[in-house]
Amino acid sequence: QTPGGEMLFLLEAENNRLRLALEEMRIKLRDFLGSCDDKGIGAMVAKSLEEVGMTELFKTHRVFERLYEDAMMRPARMEELLQRHLRKNCTEYEADGRPKAAVPVVEEYCAEYPLRLWPRGVKEDDVAGQVYESEGRRHGSKESRLCREDFHHSGRW
């Protein structure tokens, strides 16, 4: 290895060690606060930690927490984008010339299945069949049924 590569390796190892130590401290602090709550002094200890700035030190989110929060906010962002698009491209007008109100598209189409992006009336078999027909498989064939089941259980459904 080059001297720079070796240095990078050492820095990454140190970074991982420090990350692990910080995570251990977070766990111990959480356990400590739980113990304080059990003894009835949790609120006072939490207030003291906040006063000295300890809560900010341990507030950093892990990657999966940020991804989860992003996934929970995605439908609202999508609804906002669709509403903006509908308002911008609205071609239907009321009798007095005002544009018709935009329909809550995501809510209307995806209320029952929030992460699915097709109308409620579409059957799952039809959607899976269309997907696999586009890959050259016949809808209704044994191969197609197996693929639909694989598709359904793979988490991409």
| pLDDT, tens digit, 9 for 90 and up, residues 41-86 | 988 998 998 898 887 776 666 677 778 888 889 988 988 888 887 7
Per-residue pLDDT band for 39 (boundaries 50, 70, 90) equals: very high
CB contact set of 94 (below 8 Å; sequence gap of 6+): 100
Q: Which of 48, 52, 56 is nearest to 26 (CA)?
A: 56
What pLDDT is attached to residue 150? 44
Q: Which region among 13-17, 59-63, 121-125 has the lowest average model confidence (pLDDT)?
A: 121-125
One-letter amino acid at 17 equals R
Per-residue pLDDT band for 141 (boundaries 50, 70, 90) equals: very low
What pLDDT is attached to residue 151? 44
Structural domain spans, the chain: 3-60, 62-121, 123-157
Q: Which of 144, 117, 121 is nearest to 131 (CA)?
A: 144
What pLDDT is attached to residue 112? 55
Q: How many CB atoms lie within 10 A of CB 144?
A: 19
**pLDDT tens sequence across 86-100:** 777 666 666 666 666
Helix, strand, or coil (residue 138): coil
Read off the pTM: 0.36
